[in-house]
Each structure stands twice: as structure tokens, then as C-alpha cells.
Amino acid sequence: MAAAPEEPTPLPARAPSGRWALLVGAGILLSRLAGLLRERVVAHYFGNSGVADALRAAFRIPNLLQNLFGEGVLSASFIPVYARLLAGDDEAEADRVAGSVGAALALAMAIAVAAGVTLAPWLVDLVAPGFGGLRRELTVSMVRILFPGVGLLVLSAWCLGILNSHRRFFLSYAAPVVWNLVIVAALVAFAGRRDAEGLALAAAWGAVVGSAAQLAVQLPTTLRLARNLRPANIAFRDPEVGTVFRNFVPAFVSRGVVQISAYVDQLLASLLPIGAVAALGYAQTLYTLPVSLFGMAISAAELPAMSSAIGAEPEIARQLYDRLHAALRRVAFLIIPSAVAFAALGDVVTAAIYQTGRFGRGDVLYVWSLLAASAVGLLASTLGRLYASTWYALRDASRPLRFALVRLAFGTLLGIVLAFRAPAWLGVNPRWGAAGLPLGSGLAGWLEVSLLRHSLVPRVGRVEIGIGFACRLWAVALVAAAAARCAQLAAPSLPPLFGGIAMLALYGVLYFAGTSLLGVHESHVFLRGLQAAAARWRGSP
């Protein structure tokens, strides 16, 4: 391995973000594939049982800390300040800000972890009130085990903020691979040696060890890039540190609103028949794959670039408009076929990933119903990330907060009606009401996107993907899905895993071929990017 250069890599304000997005996507892809492997192993050993409900709820509760203090909040508050200081060649000040933020996170995590371990029973009652008996006891035990590991993951997210600002995207997003693999190793190692409850506890301990491993993977490169980083006091009086903390509060609350929405869904699911919490978790794992792989990859690559834009206000607005418009089209090009696949081919997707061991065909259909409902808001959630990132780059985290609150209120109301009233209106089993939770959240997501888009008009102009462009993508995706479904019906005897891979590969080929024939620019750019990446991979030593 070559030695690290003495001088930091220049960070041009207008550098194209396509390459960075590809690196983010590659890192996220590896991480998500490892996550799918973890979920497949979990489904194999626990299915849609009460233990699976407990495992899902236990992992969700302490992850609130990771999501609140971690990547989302740091992206909104820390990265814009840190990246702009680097762009202005003020590396020493940038590293001093990073040290203060790191010290504040470490202190906050020490307090939060101690509180979480102590208050675990009350936290479980708060977010899973439908749990009782063994499910509740097992969930409490796992929450107490998991909290220290989540504190380490928040520090890992601090490393991610520094790595992303230095354009080291691949390492920061590929690091969670080790976390997933340690959990898988724990499950495989203790399977057959413990009962279901004991195996779930082993998975929780594996998550703690995996958290330490994930931080260890990132820390050496982080310290090498932030050469002036020193153990620091929390310098509240420093103007740049003050900017981070001022933006942190609204970003924290805004991110909290998003997380509260997910927790409300879990709370409501805990009141539905056994298996609803686990099924919702399985569906969310698949749903977040394109959100992370495409939406997060592009928005994560764009945020440092947007934050590094310099010049007069009209020049900055023009740069933001150009970047946002191109990013919205790239996201739509990749997310629209994902939404169609979840709605039209969701049973094949679910079976390919989960149908093994205790996870049967009935579980596949149940998860598909939630996945299809999630598809309604898939594009909204990814477009919303980009619009919100633009406000973060403008150092305004309050607008996304206000609109997130509207989304929470509207989504909660819709979720309650659809989950608990709609099944009776339709004359179906109450368990199918679980699909109403992601459906309500998705519809609320479109309201949030509309508010974000209109709020940016005075600052950067009206930025949209265009109706004609979107219609072409939807039409091609629907035709490709119909063709793939016909192919699946013609070969029904293939095992779920191989059948799913074959059908999704056919679907992807048809979508890219169709968009290329229609002259969609993003299709040609994406394929050229893949060819260039393959060429670099073949040419690497």
C-alpha cells in the first residue's frame, strides 16, 4: 500500500459528484449485501415468531441514539462547517472543530448509554406496549446488551463525517460490513447450542463486538486525515463550533421526528397480532436498500460538494441549482424502478432474500404486502433527502425540521386509520393492517417533499425532475416488470433465491435497455460509469 501523501487532497468546490456517488454506492452496496445476509440468517433461525419480534424491537430501541446523534445529524450540522473550512484551506481550524464535536459526542454517549441500560424496561414499554411476558423480558435483556455498542457506532458516525469531508466515501460506508458479519458469525456459532431466546442474546452480544470492530476499521484513516486532531475541550465559544451546535439542535430534532415516525410504526405494529413487528422490520430492510444505495449515495456525495460552494450569493444559488437538478434526476432514474419492483415483484424479492428455514410462503406474502405499501413513498423519501441536504448546505436546518413535524403528524394519523380501521372496512384479517403503516408514512412523505421543494424556490429556484422525464421512467419500469413476471411464470420451478436473481436481472436489463432506447441521458451516464469503474478495477494491481 502506498504511503499517505504529506499534503491533503485538494477539495475543488465544483468537482463532479458522480464519481463520489459511485464510491458511496459501492460502499453502501457491500454494507447492504452484508445486511441482507444477516437478515436472511435471522429469518432462517427465527422466522416471524415472537422471538423475532423481540429481536427486531430490541435492535430498534437503542438504534434511536445512533440515528439521532449519528450520520443524519452530523451530515446536517458538522459536515457543512468542516467541509467549508477544508475548502478554504483552514485545516487546523477544521480539525479543532472536529475535536470539539468528537468530545461532545463522547460525553453525550456516555450519559445516554448509562441512561439506556438503566431505563431499558421503561423504554420497551414505551415503544412496544403490546409486548408482554417472555417477549418483553427478552427485549429488555437485549436492549441492555446493545446500548454500549450503539455508543461506539455514534463515534463511528463521527469518523464518517471526517472521511466524507475528505472524500473518503468508500471506507466510511463499507465499514458496517464488519458489524453485520460479526452478528452473522455469532448466530451461526451458537445455533444448535442455545434455544431461540439464547440465540437472540448471542446476536445482541455479536452486535456489540461488531460495533467496536466497525469503529476500529475507520479510526486509523480518520486520524491520518485529521492530522491536527487533538483531545479537545468542547469549545462552545468558537464561532465555527458554535455553528455546528446551533445547527445540531434543529437537525437533531428533525432527525428525531423521522425516527419517531419509525418508532410510532413499531409501536402500532406491536398492538397488531404476533409477527407484525418482525414483518415490518423485514420489509424495512428491503425498503431501505435502494434508499441507502441510491438516495443516500447521491445525497451524501452532494452535501460536501454543495457545502463547499463559494462565491457571491447568485453564484452559490446557481451551483446549488445545477447540482440539485442533476441529483434529482439521477435519484429518480434509480428509485422509480425500485418502487415498481417492490410493488409488482415484491413476492419474488422477499422470497429470494428470506424464504428459508422457519420463513415460509405465508410469511413471504405478508412481508410483500408491507413492501408494496412502502413503495408508495420510496421516491418521496429519497427526493426529500436531497432537498433537505440543500437546506443543510445553506446552513439552515430549521426548514427541514418544520416540514418533518408536518410529515410526522400527518403520517401518524394516516397510519392509525389505515392500520386499525381499514381492515374492518375491507373485511380482511387485522394482521394485514400492518401494511397501512408504511402506506401512511409514504403518503406523508410526499407532502414533506412538496413543502421542501416549494421552500427552496426563493433561494435556488424551482428544481424538479420534470413530468415527461418521470413518465418515461415509470412506463419503462412497468413494461419491464410485466415482462419479468411473464418470464417467472414460465419457469415456476426455480428455487426462490436463483429464481429471484434471474428475474430481477432480467428486469434490470430490460429497464436499462428501454431507457437507453428512449434517449434517457442518465441511463447512458450510469452505464458509462459502470464501464469506467470496471476498467479501473481490471487495471488496478
Same domain, 424 and 507: no
Cβ 345 vs Cβ 485: under 8 Å: yes
Number of folded domains that form the chain:
2
Among the candidates 449, 465, 481, a domain finishes at 465
> DSSP string covering 482-510, please?
HHHHHHHHH-TTS-HHHHHHHHHHHHHHH
Structural domain for 504, as ranges: 466-530
- pLDDT reported for residue 189: 94
Using 50, 70 and 90 to split pLDDT, how confident is the model at 90? confident
Alpha-carbon gap, residue 354 to 178, rounded angstroms: 21
Cβ 275 vs Cβ 364: under 8 Å: no
86 pLDDT above the threshold of 50 = yes
181 pLDDT above the threshold of 50 = yes
Domain-embedded: residue 277: yes
Same domain, 472 and 440: no
- pLDDT reported for residue 11: 40
- pLDDT reported for residue 74: 65
Domain-embedded: residue 349: yes
Alpha-carbon gap, residue 353 to 48, rounded angstroms: 14
Alpha-carbon gap, residue 152 to 147, rounded angstroms: 9
Alpha-carbon gap, residue 124 to 90, rounded angstroms: 46
**Using the 8-state DSSP alphabet, how is residue 435 labeled?**
G
Among the candidates 465, 496, 512, a domain finishes at 465
35: three-class secondary structure by DSSP? helix
pTM for the full predicted model: 0.70
Joined together, the cell numbers standing for residue 305 give 460538494
- pLDDT reported for residue 503: 92
Alpha-carbon gap, residue 276 to 262, rounded angstroms: 14
Domain-embedded: residue 537: no
CA distances from 377 to 40, 87, 406, 422 (A): 25, 36, 15, 19
- pLDDT reported for residue 497: 86
Domain-embedded: residue 435: yes
362 pLDDT above the threshold of 50 = yes
Same domain, 393 and 493: no
pLDDT tens, position by position, 499-513: 889 999 999 999 999
Same domain, 495 and 362: no
Joined together, the cell numbers standing for residue 396 give 439552515
Among the candidates 432, 447, 465, a domain finishes at 465
Mean pLDDT for all residues in the chain: 83
Alpha-carbon gap, residue 457 to 122, rounded angstroms: 44
Q: Is the dihedral of CA 71, 74, 79, 82 positive or negative?
A: negative
- pLDDT reported for residue 184: 95
Same domain, 522 and 423: no
Domain-embedded: residue 400: yes
355: three-class secondary structure by DSSP? coil
Same domain, 138 and 259: yes
Alpha-carbon gap, residue 512 to 476, rounded angstroms: 9
Domain-embedded: residue 541: no
430 pLDDT above the threshold of 80 = yes
Residue 194 pairs with which residues in a beta bridge? 191
Alpha-carbon gap, residue 488 to 272, rounded angstroms: 33
Neighbouring CB atoms inside 10 A of 540's CB total 6
The percentage of residues in the chain with a pLDDT greater than 90, rounded to a whole number, is: 38
Amino acid at 499: G
- pLDDT reported for residue 259: 65
- pLDDT reported for residue 378: 94
Same domain, 274 and 219: yes
- pLDDT reported for residue 284: 86
Average pLDDT on 512-529 reads 86
Average pLDDT on 299-316 reads 70
Same domain, 372 and 520: no
Joined together, the cell numbers standing for residue 293 give 444505495
Average pLDDT on 382-396 reads 85
Joined together, the cell numbers standing for residue 366 give 405478508
Joined together, the cell numbers standing for residue 228 give 491536527
Alpha-carbon gap, residue 305 to 320, rounded angstroms: 9
Alpha-carbon gap, residue 467 to 520, rounded angstroms: 13
377 pLDDT above the threshold of 90 = yes
- pLDDT reported for residue 155: 87
Same domain, 439 and 472: no
Using 50, 70 and 90 to split pLDDT, how confident is the model at 15? very low
More confident residue, 362 or 314: 362
Same domain, 423 and 510: no
Q: Which has the minimum average pLDDT: 14-28, 56-70, 315-329, 443-457?
A: 14-28
Average pLDDT on 29-51 reads 88
Q: Which has the minimum average pLDDT: 40-44, 215-219, 398-402, 471-475?
A: 398-402
Alpha-carbon gap, residue 162 to 152, rounded angstroms: 16
Which run of H or E residues covers position 382? helix 378-393
Domain-embedded: residue 3: no
Amino acid at 47: G
Mean pLDDT comparison of 145-159, 272-286, 464-478, highest-scoring range:
464-478
Q: Which has the minimum average pLDDT: 41-50, 60-69, 434-443?
A: 60-69
Q: 239-270 and 120-127 helices cross at what angle (nearest 10)?
A: 60
Alpha-carbon gap, residue 200 to 55, rounded angstroms: 6
Residue 191 pairs with which residues in a beta bridge? 194
317 pLDDT above the threshold of 50 = yes
More confident residue, 257 or 169: 169
Same domain, 454 and 488: no
Average pLDDT on 329-346 reads 94
Neighbouring CB atoms inside 10 A of 429's CB total 9
Same domain, 134 and 173: yes
Q: For residues 89, 94, 95 and 98, what is the CA-based torsion angle, rounded to 10 degrees?
A: -160
Domain-embedded: residue 535: no
